[in-house]
Structure 1
Amino acid sequence: MPDHCLARLGATAPIDAPLVPVHYARMFPSLPAFRAEEQFLRALGRIGGVCDCEDTDDTPESLAESAAGWPIFGQFVAHDITADRSHLRSETDTAGLINARSPKLDLECLYGDGPTGHPYLFQRDDPAKFRLGKDDSDLQRNADETAIIGDPRNDSHQLISQFHLAMLKAHNAFVDEAREQGIEEAFVFDEASRQLRWHYQWIILHEFLPSLVGEQVAADALQEGSRYFHPGDHVFLPLEFADAAYRYGHAQIRHRYQLNAHSGLLPLFPDLLGFRPVPREHLIDWSMFFDTVGAPAAQRAKKMDGRLVRSLLQLPLAITGECEIEDYQSLAVRDLQRGQGVGLPSGEAVARYIGVSPLDAEQIGLTAIDWHEETPLWYYILREAAVLEDGQRLGPVGARIVTDVFLGLIDADRKSFRHSEEEWRPRKTLSDLLVRS
């Protein structure tokens, strides 16, 4: 992507920060890079292109079984483990790409360097707890209304900013529980942050992953462990995950959301653009985004069908910065260029490598634009989900990459719940953390 179109706040205190820069690397390094002309990528991802699902309502047949909040959770997870600040060109030296996040599922995006390293995130009179914004209904903000949080990307839209806020409140609730249990004050922060991190990791493997790849695939993966991702002591984030498979969530964003019992239906952009205080009428009732005991069923996410809603194909300038070429305001174009820029293989190549039959040209559906070659990995994974799973969950290529990376990262972290000396089980589900925090 051209430089003109692209415009670390530390590591979590309870987790050891990397002492050297963390690089990205390939999960399947022996596979050749996919190559296509930029005009093809732009034709695929621009408004009016194959990835455009146009400006329609969220109809029952376009919606998935999974709740609408899971893609928001997925974005929060992404900000916890990956942050690439580089300018991406059509060809990028991937050896020089630096991940500004520790590749651990440790809530670094929440805790920063903890009360000592980032005291402005925490209460002055009670540094074990996070500082919240006005009336505890928004993030804390400075005089310019910029959010004061561990990762500024978590203020890019109001759904992610309020999710971040809910996680801050969940930590504060664990602080209260630790004190009620009589834990010494010097250890209260450590205990509360450990509980939240372990609940978070458990939720990823036992709630989020089944919603994304299916109950049986998730159960088999937990039983078998990671098959293709074994980072050892030098943990990295695979580019196939960061720049293709884990961008599936862009296709799950709905046209419009109802935030609470009194709000209307609103698109993510521009109505819910972040980087500003959240108005009271936009405060989120999380039971409308995640299924909650005793509440009506939540809104559902959009199916993964290879198409994105218009609000993501016309990103606001506050997100993209000034773009001389209009197509670069499309998130789909950016995803496609990103994958090619870092030299990802085709989806068909990965399918053959892991031993599954690739989709054929008719299933991919690009012959209408006179494309008969192999397919960019990101788009292939979305089409695989649409063709093989009716858009409900990831297919074999996407599921393999995502499950392997989640398991690999958690198992490589010696402080994760999977390395607990005693068998640990959570006390709360994600809806408990969000709704009752």
Structure 2
Amino acid sequence: MALDLHGLTAAQRPKLYLNGEGMFGRLFPELLPLDVPVEEALALGAERGPMDVSFEGPGIACEDNPRIPAGWAFFGQFIAHDITNDRQPLQSHEEVGRNFRSPRLDLECVYGAGVTGQPYLYDKDDYALFLIGTDDRGTPGDLPRNPQGLALIGDARNDTYFFISQLHLAFLKLHNRLLLEQRAAGAANPFEATQQLLRWHYQWIVLHEFLPLTVGQALVQDIIEHGPRWYQAASSPFIPVEFSDGAYRFGHAQLRDLYQINDALHDVRLFPDTVGLRPVPSAYQPDWARFFDFGGAVRPQLTRYIDASYGHCMIRLPETLTGQVARPEYRSLAGRDLQRALATDLPSGEAVARAYGEVPLTPEQIGLSELGWRYETPLPIYVLREAAVQHDGQQLGAVGGRIVAEVLLGLMQADPTAYLNAQPDWQPSLPTIHGSFSIADLLRAADVA
């Protein structure tokens, strides 16, 4: 059936991404894109603008979210790099967007193209093992790097700052440990057995920790029992742009400006102090108990509340990461997120809420009308304000939460190799300290905590 686009010209119609594996797609191709002047949208994410935490405007005053430890913001980015890779320029309006990642939670960002496609990731003396780099003490505390300091890993984005590069290192180390154990146990194909084990433990953490913290256990259980309402991926999984360029950007607002890395390093700025694309000094290797709940005496730092403001260092990204930019707003991660929302022709948050059958937030709840905003709300901002209004910023709300949960759960449900399908009653085999297997147990097993 043809879409009724109310007399719009072809140039005005929303570009319909092809839903299919290897492509981005749309949850709501019938919704019109939000029509907002680029300059006004970018001003929201500019330095000293409404999304800069230093701006005195509506929002949650306290930054600490008691529900979610700080490390989950890094883990969320790790997931994003595992399932999405959009190489289009920031302002690109291509009709069909290719996703250079498989739409599966399969650790492609770790394994890359495999031994044949990317042999430099692996030990040439034993191609079943990953290379591990050495730090300034000569110990295996960093990613493998080339002579210029760039990481030799399956996804270069996992080297953009120290925390995510150290998280990536944990997966490399755990693979190597599991591989040796599988060999010792006489596995017919130790590499494939190790891949499956590591992927399934990772998927377990996404399902049993990350999603309940992010969207609430009730929504996770509802989707498991009744299936997704909108994201239908069983025959051809894809990544919706409403997820990749809309709702899932919420993690950027969780990042703090300052972190305590370990006992010795306090008040370290995320940027530029921990900017990556260079070796990680041993002094900067994190005490993971300060980022995830290990159940011990050390209490983890917390993410920022989910709200429509970014830490100030997110508003002034280092040129090391952005390169030369066409306009100053593109140094801001908030500005870049808004530009991508416009470039991918996302509908407004209110339009998506109506499509979901939800009552949209009011302009007063959004908090932009008093600043002269005359439009509906860009989807990334709507999702953030929805979390603040509906859950005091402690988890995603009705629209953002359902987009995130349906996509991540849907990808696992559509993957025949995921443990949910291949072995639904599977339980993690790695040791656990407090009952249910957790990210803390994974980091212990990797010998980084």
TM-score (ref. length: structure 1): 0.91
Measured after TM superposition, the shift of residue 421 of structure 1 is 4.2
Q: Greater shift after overlay, 270-279 or 114-123? A: 114-123
1:141 paired with 2:141, answer no
Moved >3 Å (runs of 4+): none
Where does structure 1 lack aligned partners over 5 or more consecutive residues? 1-19
Correspondence for 1:132: 132
Correspondence for 1:25: 25
Question: How many residues are paired up?
Answer: 412
Measured after TM superposition, the shift of residue 101 of structure 1 is 0.8
What whole-Å deviation, never above 9, does each CA across 1:191-248 have from its counterpart, x for those lacking one?
A: 1110000111111111100010112222222222222111233321100000011110
Q: How does 1:41-190 map to 2 (within 5 A)?
A: 41-54=41-54, 61-64=62-65, 65-89=67-91, 92-95=93-96, 97-134=97-134, 135-184=139-188, 187-190=189-192
| Secondary structure of 1:94 counterpart | coil
| Secondary structure of 1:145 counterpart | coil
Correspondence for 1:415: 417
Where does structure 2 lack aligned partners over 5 or more consecutive residues? 1-19, 430-436
Distance change >3 Å, CA 359–CA 60, structure 1 → 2: closer
Correspondence for 2:233: 231
Q: Greater shift after overlay, 168-177 or 344-353? A: 168-177
Correspondence for 1:314: 316
Measured after TM superposition, the shift of residue 260 of structure 1 is 1.0
Does the CA-based 8 Å contact 1:25-1:239 persist in structure 2? yes
Correspondence for 2:360: 358
What whole-Å deviation, never above 9, does each CA across 1:255-299 have from its counterpart, x for those lacking one?
A: 211111111211110000000000111011111111013342211
Measured after TM superposition, the shift of residue 422 of structure 1 is 5.8
Q: How does 1:267-286 map to 2 (within 5 A)?
A: 267-286=269-288
Does the CA-based 8 Å contact 1:287-1:435 persist in structure 2? no
Q: Distance in 2 between matches of 1:106 and 1:400?
A: 22
| Secondary structure of 1:98 counterpart | coil
Out of 407, 415, 438, the residue aligned to residue 429 of structure 1 is 438
Amino acid at match of 1:61: C
Q: Distance in 1 between matches of 2:282 and 2:398?
A: 42
Does the CA-based 8 Å contact 1:287-1:295 persist in structure 2? no
Correspondence for 1:10: none
| Secondary structure of 2:127 counterpart | coil
Correspondence for 1:394: 396
Measured after TM superposition, the shift of residue 21 of structure 1 is 7.6
Q: Distance in 2 between matches of 1:88 and 1:422?
A: 40
Correspondence for 1:304: 306
| Secondary structure of 2:303 counterpart | strand
Q: Distance in 1 between matches of 2:369 and 2:21?
A: 43
Q: Distance in 2 between matches of 1:128 and 1:346?
A: 47
Q: Distance in 1 between matches of 2:21 and 2:184?
A: 40
Measured after TM superposition, the shift of residue 181 of structure 1 is 2.8
Q: Greater shift after overlay, 269-278 or 421-430? A: 421-430
Q: Distance in 2 between matches of 1:196 and 1:295?
A: 28
Measured after TM superposition, the shift of residue 33 of structure 1 is 0.8
Measured after TM superposition, the shift of residue 108 of structure 1 is 0.4
Amino acid at match of 1:191: A
Out of 330, 344, 347, the residue aligned to residue 345 of structure 1 is 347
| Secondary structure of 1:129 counterpart | strand
Measured after TM superposition, the shift of residue 435 of structure 1 is 2.7
Correspondence for 1:293: 295
Does the CA-based 8 Å contact 1:252-1:302 persist in structure 2? yes
| Secondary structure of 1:371 counterpart | coil
Does the CA-based 8 Å contact 1:381-1:394 persist in structure 2? yes
Correspondence for 2:246: 244
Measured after TM superposition, the shift of residue 125 of structure 1 is 2.5
What whole-Å deviation, never above 9, does each CA across 1:51-92 have from its counterpart, x for those lacking one?
A: 010299xx9931112010001000011011111111233x61
Does the CA-based 8 Å contact 1:68-1:290 persist in structure 2? yes
TM-score (ref. length: structure 2): 0.88
Q: Distance in 1 between matches of 2:300 and 2:204?
A: 22
Q: Distance in 1 between matches of 2:206 and 2:132?
A: 25
Does the CA-based 8 Å contact 2:21-2:103 persist in structure 1? no
Correspondence for 2:369: 367
Measured after TM superposition, the shift of residue 407 of structure 1 is 1.4
What whole-Å deviation, never above 9, does each CA across 1:353-392 have from its counterpart, x for those lacking one?
A: 1111110011000022211321100000000001111110
